[in-house]
Structure 1
């Protein structure tokens, strides 16, 4: 009887419903615990700041406090001198706790509030050490929470200067997509994309880049951002009895649209856009369903002239963006390290 129940569709749906309820409850508990811990740490850090300002106590008071707390809480290592200093820095950085308020993009009069409890204390420690600008930190807090990044992944995104690249790809979305899609599409595409994880020189051929991107699809998806689902490489579409192959095809689960990506190993040329426009039309005709939004194209070149890109995109009716990508920085760093090691030897 039990085996029959487990195979029943209604039971499977019900079991999934229960498991999702449990996961949601666990997430809420974890969020509440994290929020309470951050509140405690902020209050301790703020109290240290107040006492130092009011009484003129120097840094030695933190040493004394850490020693006393170690005696009272011998099994808790969270109140070390180092951690207490982090708490003071945390309170100093976020006087408006439990939120950080930063200007809305492109506006000096409108503000957005970002909840600090979205990420863990260990994320905050690293973020405070690596990023000094409050608006930039708020960006990484929101992106870390949205994408569920570990601390190491967040640090990689900081190292790759995601804040400076996010939403910077040249595009015609404002003229080719409805308002509700345009802003979202703009925010998704970057410039430049960082392909340093491929460990290639800038002279790499397109096919070599494609091969490694698909071999390291996890890293590539991380660089693209949340929402991209890989459909295929050299994806074949037939148009008028002729087979054409799209370099990379994705589906974006938030935009609800196919994304055609074309890779070029050299500098941007206007004719590349014509080819990408052709592929977008083919996917719209052959693959897109009535429930999908218009297909979007992304052209990635090793380098580009923004003026040439803007001229080329004038008058186009298909939504597309053009961005460059970087390959050589990590290779250069490794060569420099290798040379340094050789000199030491």
Structure 2
């Protein structure tokens, strides 16, 4: 009993206890068009028999506004070790240029699409803006499978106020990267959630026609980045919790005595780190605990998209990582 009590004390925060491996990891061979690093994928969503891949759609860099759809049947064939190329289609994102022009004219500089989820045939996306812009935005559009389009509703534009540091400055290059749907509601997490003052997420109903006002949900202080989020049922979610060691991201360096600091320390410097965490929404607040630490060979990828599938997860990076291209993994539950 005394050893049990000691373990409970050491893991009292349940946020830093070592996790046994819970998944095996398998890479998926992508077609050249999709593996192209210029897609800069930022979100995943499983919809019917497809895995949807959201491109950041950086219009300011003349990028195409699009979502790819990978056929899950061909993915399953690869996972079963069959030699089969993935089959896919591409959905054009219509009206994004009009929404971008509206933001830019108001001084809210569009930088790309980050979060992605769906409710029925309606797709929701979060827009990241330049650091100095006080708002990010939520938009939505109808998916038309036969036409291979997602037509964005130019009337639906929900401002999401960026949380700030105590000196009222914004976190560099941060937005609402994590977006998930649950019970016809939406949950959005900001990328940085380690403020010394209040940390919070946003929830709002998936309205049929008009925008609604986001409601605040308290969030227990969370180190590192949150780059995507998926609903698991019964108010449970899983998210990517990622740390990048570069100097531009020094604000994410968790200091001692926070025990999470040991994960990112490398001698006198820092190292990349990535894990999955589990979140629970209960009593109008969000709490989290670690779920799975990615193996060392996958720590240097910038994982930005996540989708649940058959008890496991798909993960995709943007363009950063040793492969220098889009890399899709499947984490299979043991």
TM, length-normalised to structure 1 = 0.25
- Larger Rg computed on CA atoms: 1
TM, length-normalised to structure 2 = 0.25
Of Structure 1 and Structure 2, which has the larger fraction of its residues in helix? Answer: 1
